[in-house]
Amino acid sequence: MKKIILITILILYNSLNAQDISWRVKAKGHNPNPKNELSKYFKKEIPKKLLNKAGYQRGKNNIILSFKINTENIPYNINVSTFGSNELYNKLKTAFKKYPLEKLNLNELDKKNRYSLQIITKKGNKNIFNCSTKVMVETPAICENCKDLQNFEDLEKCLNIEVKKHFYNTFNSSKITEDETNIFFQYYIKPDGSIGLKTTKKVSKYLDEIKRSLSTFSGIITPSYFNNVLNKPFYSLSIPFKKGEKFIYEDSQIKFNLFSKPTIDNDFSNYLAEKLTKEDINKARLNRINHSLRINFELDKDYNPFNITTNSRSYQLEKEIINAFIDYPIEKLNFFNRKKFNRYNLQILSFKDNQSVINTSTKVSYIRAPIFPGCENSSSIKDLKKCFSLGVQKHFMQKFDADLPKKLGLSKGRKRVFIGFKIDKSGEIVDIKVKAPHIVIKNEVIKVMEQLPKVIAGVQIGKNVNIKYSIPFTLIID
């Protein structure tokens, strides 16, 4: 029996994760067909060898592609629910960008919606393109204080911010007994607009106080719908608490500005003012929630920028900004820290006085991923993450009892295991959560994870930070 055939590590930086789509239940009428035009298109664009690398989420036998629409009626924020092959993931996204939207049988496009369709399913032991003929439409829950916003993710983020602010204002922090803790919970919007709590062991200690706090929240105009049926996506909140500090909501943008000190008249801002037209800047469509456009990049050994991306919703604006950035002398930027494996972050535009303006960072911010022992000589962040993944995989190959599934009498086939954990500020592996086909396997996985070596912690602007990971892997029982 092979021990582990696949490990993929995903860093989870965001606390908002509201997508909860179950196609078997909700996507009635999407009418998948391996011979429709989209299926034939993907079959032509994606090599069969690459298609065979598609990995499925736990309990799923299909792969879903979702997207949103920007103000130029172009798909963006394209996501594919597969793992195991970054090449396949990126090829699918690139191919879909080129596909004409008018062929998707959508009556209209709305920036407030998220669109989803099935693209891949299993046929026996083979993966096939079996695309939906009808695209499914998901509408977000809309809060009274967020109704001025026009985009799906802005409405979701705004709702989460409003709930978070309410929680800080109403939760009785004197109930917390630890000197330092992190209150994590997931919630959803009920049909009547009130908040429901997804109860877990993680929140049980303060469950009654969390429920009391959330029960007083009001202001939901409409809940979420998927395919015209009431939808219950889960939203996540992670609330840090440290005794002696005020229990108040803090805007992350304020923290960023305190460090990066953006101004409209520094050298880089003046440079971009010559490169970007007013028409270019307006394409950012920033607002009070999507309030800044930033550029992210790495530096090679000669300090040349590469792997440059932005959070722009306009591909044309992203292209203009990246081209301008490449031509700007890198030595003119003020780097707080210029160490190997840093991923740099620089504000370009911000939302001020109800408009998008050039307002660039005076100091360059950065983050650094955790470093697994032995990976210090990796050539890039991509290789560093690959080395991390291989390090965990090698550890499992050595420590996991490969005969255990057979001893338990589990049926033949592939068995999916999902692991969630956190690397804390000291580099320790903590908060290990496992979903496995048997309690004994779950306990074995936890034991193996607890034996992982201490790593070099992740860093953000000079401070060690906690970073969450998830690892799916497959056991094959012969």
What residue segments make up the domains of the chain, in order of their start?
31-139, 143-249, 254-368, 381-477
CA distance to 278, 362, 392, per residue, from 266 (Å): 18, 7, 44
CB atoms within 10 A of CB 439: 10
Interatomic CA distance for residues 193 and 239, integer angstroms: 23
- Name the CA dihedral angle for 202, 205, 210, 215, rounded to a multiple of 10 degrees: 110
Report phi then psi at 416, rounded to 5.
-90, 140
The answer to whether 134 and 29 have CB atoms below 8 angstroms apart is yes
Q: Which residues pair with 242 in a beta bridge?
A: 180
Interatomic CA distance for residues 434 and 369, integer angstroms: 23
Taking only the tens place, the pLDDT of each residue in 379-390 is: 889 899 889 988
CA distance to 195, 263, 459, per residue, from 295 (Å): 36, 16, 19
pLDDT at 244 over 90: no
Please state whether 228 falls in left (phi above 0), alpha (psi between -120 and 50) or beta: left
Please state the separation of Cα 169 from the chain's center in Å: 27
Q: Which of 32, 33, 43 is nearest to 99 (CA)?
A: 43
Instruction: Identify the pLDDT of residue 322.
Output: 97
Average pLDDT score over residue span 187-214:
83
| Bridge-based pairing state of the strands 10-12 and 32-33 | unpaired
Return the top range by mean pLDDT from 12-21, 147-156, 174-183, 454-463: 147-156
Instruction: Identify the pLDDT of residue 58.
Output: 66
What does R_g of the chain's alpha carbons equal in angstroms?
A: 23
Q: How is domain 381-477 classified at the CATH fold level?
A: TolA/TonB C-terminal domain (3.30.2420)
The answer to whether 42 and 32 have CB atoms below 8 angstroms apart is no
**Mean of per-residue pLDDT scores for the chain:** 88
Count of CA atoms in the C-beta half-sphere (13 A) of 199: 7
Instruction: Check the CA dihedral 131-419-369-373 and report its sign.
Output: negative
Written as one letter, the residue type at 397 is M
- Name the CA dihedral angle for 25, 31, 35, 36, rounded to a multiple of 10 degrees: -120
Average pLDDT score over residue span 19-23:
57
Taking only the tens place, the pLDDT of each residue in 409-467 is: 877 777 778 888 889 999 999 988 888 888 998 999 999 999 999 999 999 887 898 88
The answer to whether 361 and 253 have CB atoms below 8 angstroms apart is no
Instruction: Identify the pLDDT of residue 123.
Output: 87
Interatomic CA distance for residues 274 and 267, integer angstroms: 11
Q: Which of 84, 5, 121, 62 is nearest to 478 (CA)?
A: 5
- When pLDDT is cut at 50, 70 and 90, the band that residue 12 belongs to is very low
Interatomic CA distance for residues 459 and 465, integer angstroms: 6
b/e string for 107-118 if b means 16 or more Cβ within 10 A?
eebbbbbbbbbb
Instruction: Identify the pLDDT of residue 22.
Output: 64
Interatomic CA distance for residues 163 and 249, integer angstroms: 11
DSSP string, 276-322: S-HHHHHTT---SSS-EEEEEEEE-TT--EEEEEE--S-HHHHHHHH
DSSP string, 323-341: HHHHHS-GGGSEES---TT
DSSP string, 426-474: TS-EEEEEEE-SSHHHHHHHHHHHHTSPP-BPEEETTEEE-EEEEEEEE
Average pLDDT score over residue span 75-98:
90
- When pLDDT is cut at 50, 70 and 90, the band that residue 397 belongs to is confident
Instruction: Identify the pLDDT of residue 203.
Output: 57
Interatomic CA distance for residues 390 and 386, integer angstroms: 6
Pick the range with the lowest mean pLDDT from 54-63, 98-107, 348-357.
54-63
Instruction: Identify the pLDDT of residue 24.
Output: 64
pLDDT at 284 over 70: yes
The token pair that represents 412 in the structure block: 């033949």
| Bridge-based pairing state of the strands 363-368 and 334-335 | parallel
